[in-house]
Chains A and B, each alone.
Chain A
Amino acid sequence: EDQVTQSPEALRLQEGESSSLNCSYTVSGLRGLFWYRQDPGKGPEFLFTLYSAGEEKEKERLKATLTKKESFLHITAPKPEDSATYLCAVQGYSSASKIIFGSGTRLSIRP
């Protein structure tokens, strides 16, 4: 069964203080690993898709990387507007098109 575990549950940073969020996954044949951002009272918003180990993608202050067992979301010099919950999800070949989410990391950036 596909599984996703995210850590830490919550992270508080000072503005400009870089850090990383972790997503560990178990899947039989990876179709895609996804990162989403969720603001309070809203639906998750797509950030990245990673397809294979070694792949990296960047968007503004965010960079996502992928290995065979985990993915990291690196946040460089974050700003208060980066405060949100970040969700990781996987889709495997053995489970058809099922997409399983982790429990998320609540990120808070203090000015």
Chain B
Amino acid sequence: DAGVIQSPRHEVTEMGQEVTLRCKPISGHDYLFWYRQTMMRGLELLIYFNNNVPIDDSGMPEDRFSAKMPNASFSTLKIQPSEPRDSAVYFCASSFAVSGANVLTFGAGSRLTVL
């Protein structure tokens, strides 16, 4: 398996533009997580899905952020409109439960810079 695949790897955009980040999880994994990483705040959980259904989106900063998982092999995280404070590395991770705990496999991340 190619692992968790994220695109784009790097995105530079201007404030106010729409940004769409994409993730292809590992086949057979039934959980998908979106995290954001910054130097100041570390790894923050934004939202996670189980069997394509959003379970907890309490980490989504505000209404400008939305995430979807239309099928088991694809998820998107959209920011509209983007702001400079959204600059961060966004990680997607997928998993299945082992002994009741979820071991995450992370993608390489999407580095977002909003000017």
Q: What's the Cα separation between A49 and B108 when bound, in Å?
A: 21
A98 adjacent to B48 (CB under 8 Å): yes
A99 adjacent to B33 (CB under 8 Å): yes
Q: Given A101-B42, A104-B42, does the pair A49, B93 have CB atoms closer than 8 Å?
A: no
A44 adjacent to B104 (CB under 8 Å): yes
Q: Given A43-B91, A43-B93, A51-B99, does the pair A99, B42 have CB atoms closer than 8 Å?
A: no
B100 adjacent to A31 (CB under 8 Å): yes
B46 to A: closest C-beta gap in Å: 11
Q: List 16 A-B pairs, Cβ < 8 Å.
A: A34-B104, A43-B4, A43-B106, A44-B104, A44-B106, A46-B103, A46-B104, A49-B101, A51-B100, A51-B101, A87-B43, A91-B102, A98-B48, A100-B45, A101-B43, A101-B45
A31 adjacent to B105 (CB under 8 Å): no
Q: What's the Cα separation between A49 and B42 when bound, in Å?
A: 20
Judge if A17 is at the interface, Cβ distance under 8 Å: no
For the side of the interface on A, what is the size category? 20 to 34
Chain A residues, CB < 8 A from B108: 42-43
CB-contacts of A27-47 with B (<8 A): 31-32, 34, 36, 42-46
A32 adjacent to B48 (CB under 8 Å): no
Chain B residues, CB < 8 A from A103: 42
